[in-house]
Amino acid sequence: MSGQRGSNREYLIRKLEEAGHHDLVAAIENKQVSAFACAEALGWRKRQPIQGTGSPNAAKRRAWALHKLGL
């Protein structure tokens, strides 16, 4: 598994720990926010363009969860 990278949850958590973002790792483990959302907020990943078929409030929920974490 050491060769995995990209948007794999375990890989992102490991990278967050290595970067010293232990508070974000704790929030991910407490299911307050996703690993991908944290990586996106830090500029490590980019979300796919919106296709308009999902919930219109999903981005708002992610933004509020990240705001509560101080991102």
Quote the domain boundaries for residue 38: 9-68
2 within domain boundaries: no
**Rounded to an integer, what distance in angstroms lies between the CA atom of residue 26 and that of residue 13?**
10
CB 35 within 8 A of CB 16: yes
Q: How far apart are the first and last CA of the chain?
A: 29
Question: Domains in the chain: how many in total?
Answer: 1
pLDDT tens, position by position, 31-67: 999 999 999 999 999 988 878 787 878 888 989 999 9
Q: Which residue carries 């890989």 as its tokens?
A: 11
Nearest CA among 51, 46, 44, 59 for reference residue 12: 44
pTM, 2 dp = 0.73
Q: pLDDT at position 1, please? A: 46
Rounded mean pLDDT, 6-10: 80
57 within domain boundaries: yes
43 within domain boundaries: yes
1 within domain boundaries: no
26 pLDDT exceeds 80?
Answer: yes
Residue 18 CA, chain-centre distance (Å), reads 15
